[in-house]
Amino acid sequence: MKYVLTENGNIKMTDGKPTVKDGDKEFGIDAIGAQTKITTITAESNDRRKKLGEANTSLEAFKGIEDPKAAIAALQKVGSMDKDQAAALDKMKLTVNTAWEAKEKEWGTEKETLNSKLFDATVGAQFATSKVIKGTVLPADIAKATFGKHFNADGTANDAAGNQINSIAKPGEPAGFDEAMEHILKAYPDRASIMKGSGANGSGGYQTGDGQGGTSVKTAGQNIAEGLKAQGI
């Protein structure tokens, strides 16, 4: 799923929403709606865990029984149930557990999908419009594949050590996308090779024939970008 760009290279907007293309279909991503859905799913998951916790607490009453009378009473109660009732109860438990596990897996998959769409609609769009990214030789999609791991869906960013990158211009606040990207690039080992205007006559570049007896030069950053594209990244 990729963003649909205008002739000027900007992300196409549909009803005020970033437009993406999935196959032949174009549609706008509702970031706010996605976040609301994630919140709902999270609340349902928490409620389910609470109920499971209460059930486990009830079962703890039968763990490590030290009162013989209570143990005998429990065994007599189980023994009084006929085999058909016991089998029906076991079948019901199995059905409930199977359905619950399937629903839990479905919720997990849906949450991951919504998180991915939310990330693309918020952080992903920044890579296509960032002035800092435009100052490199990397296309927006390659830059996202390389540096997207540093950003979170809520707009915050982390350095290589996992620490949140805070704003220098606005102390006490998380750094905005471009400010965070500048911080990340400063620590990037091959920074010089991917920045525009950094030159390519050193060890970071190589020459290729242009078909007319001349030579053209590729920077290491361009080599990296082409290599990532070749791998489908």
Whether pTM > 0.85 for this model: the answer is: no
Spans of all domains in the chain: 1-63+81-129, 130-230
Q: Is the pLDDT of residue 154 over 70?
A: yes
φ, ψ at 14 (rounded to 5°): -120, 115
Torsion (CA) 132, 191, 18, 169 in degrees, nearest 10? -40
> Confidence class of residue 68 from pLDDT cuts 50, 70 and 90?
low
pLDDT band at 62 (very low <50, low <70, confident <90, very high): low
pLDDT, tens only, 97-147: 888 788 788 877 887 787 778 777 778 788 888 999 999 999 989 999 889
Rounded to an integer, what distance in angstroms lies between the CA atom of residue 190 and that of residue 188? 6
- The pLDDT-based confidence of 213 (bands split at 50, 70, 90) is very low
Q: State residue 229's pLDDT score.
A: 57
pLDDT of residue 223: 52
Going by pLDDT thresholds of 50, 70 and 90, the confidence category of residue 179 is: very high
Q: What's the pLDDT at 175? A: 92
Residue 214 has a pLDDT of 42
Q: Write the CB contacts of 105 (distance below 8 Å, at least 6 apart in sequence).
A: none
Cα separation, 118 vs 107, in Å, equals 16
The conformation of residue 6, written as its DSSP 8-state character, comes to -
Percent of the chain with pLDDT over 90: 19
